[in-house]
Structure 1
Amino acid sequence: MAIEAVKDYFKQYGREKDILEFDESSATVELAAHALNVIPARIAKTLSFKSEKGCILVVTAGDAKVDNRKFKSEFGIKAKMLSPEEVLDLTGHAVGGVCPFGIKNEAVSVYVDVSLKRFETVFPACGSSNSAIELSCDELYQYAQGLKWSDVCKNWE
């Protein structure tokens, strides 16, 4: 999908000009935090997992780790990450710029983790390895078309 498609997606909300693009990489939590001058926990990372239907995207705080027990309890399957090729194929985004915005593939389900709720605003990527947007948690949930707030992470409390 790439950044141009994400910008097009945000036009419906009048937010396309709020997408930030950096001269440096923001492909990892640490790099994004450095580019934005924020703590790593405020980076909203999007993790991609295999599901029977296709994939589950979980948007979580930058300092959170997926808890396999909680994940299995929530989704009824073992947490198995997608390969970079599968991520690109299913979401339209390459690893380093994966985000939950504007994904039209019905095989993709988006969940937002409660680990983000401790922040007023967070910074998810926008389809490239050098982009982000600042959103409130409610905006993130809305724009990502989240199916529900999940609790599948550990090490953030």
Structure 2
Amino acid sequence: MSVKKVEEYLKQFHIEHKIQILDQSSATVELAAKAVGCEPARIAKTLSFYVGPQPILIVAAGDVKIDNKKYKQEFGTKAKMISFQDVEKVIGHAPGGVCPFAVNRGVKVYLDQSLKRFKTVFPAAGSGNSAIEMNMKELEQCSKAEKWIDVCKEV
């Protein structure tokens, strides 16, 4: 269902045909990299947080993690992830398929600078066995991102 929702959403950008339905799971960075045949860093993982009552998504490279100090500087609060059981209800996609497209109304999307070192990256497309290859301009446009931020550090 969620892939169909993403496909419908991406039609406005004329790139819905780029969605890949994979034969194997892409629910983690490592599995996704293996499934699409790229290095794990090029997987654009989408992380779900609350800033106060506001749900947000941060899309970051697969080889980084949230830097708590940078996060607090950017958002003025400690990083609080949305619980696994609440992600689908709050964001609109189930864990493993969370992506910055076709999300619930009111969810703000941010793109981390860690992605900018790549020509293209692979975010999920709404399920634990989907991906879509995008360049930075497509990702920025299709995610309707608020802005680029710097809240991650290398693992």
Report the TM-score when normalising by structure 1. Answer: 0.95
Q: Per the alignment, in what secondary structure is the counterpart of residue 144 of structure 2?
A: coil
Please report how far the alpha carbon of residue 111 of structure 1 lies from its aligned counterpart in structure 2 after TM superposition. 0.2
Kindly report which structure 2 residues correspond to 1:1-157, keeping only aligned pairs within 5 A, or say none: 2-106=2-106, 108-155=107-154
Q: CA deviation at 1:114?
A: 0.3
Shift in Å at residue 56 of structure 1?
1.4
Q: In 2, Cα distance between the equivalents of 1:141 and 1:53?
A: 24
How big is the shift at 1:15? 1.1
Q: CA deviation at 1:103?
A: 1.7
Superposition deviation, residue 70 in structure 1:
0.1
> What amino acid sits opposite 1:22 in the alignment?
L
> How big is the shift at 1:88?
0.6
3-state DSSP class of the match of 1:102? coil
Q: Percent identity?
A: 56
Coordinate RMSD, CA, aligned: 1.1
Query: Alignment length, in residue pairs?
Result: 155
Bigger shift: residues 109-118 or 77-86: 77-86
AA matched with 2:26: S
Task: Provide the rounded CA distance (Å) in 1 between the counterparts of 2:15 and 2:127.
Answer: 17
> What TM-score results when the alignment is normalised by the length of structure 2?
0.96
Residues 135-157 of structure 1, C-alpha deviations (whole Å, 9 max, x = no match): 0012101100000000000016x
Matched AA of 1:136: N
- From the two aligned structures, give the one with the greater strand fraction: 2
Deviation >3 Å, runs of 4+: none
CA–CA distance in structure 1, aligned partners of residues 137 and 78 of structure 2:
28
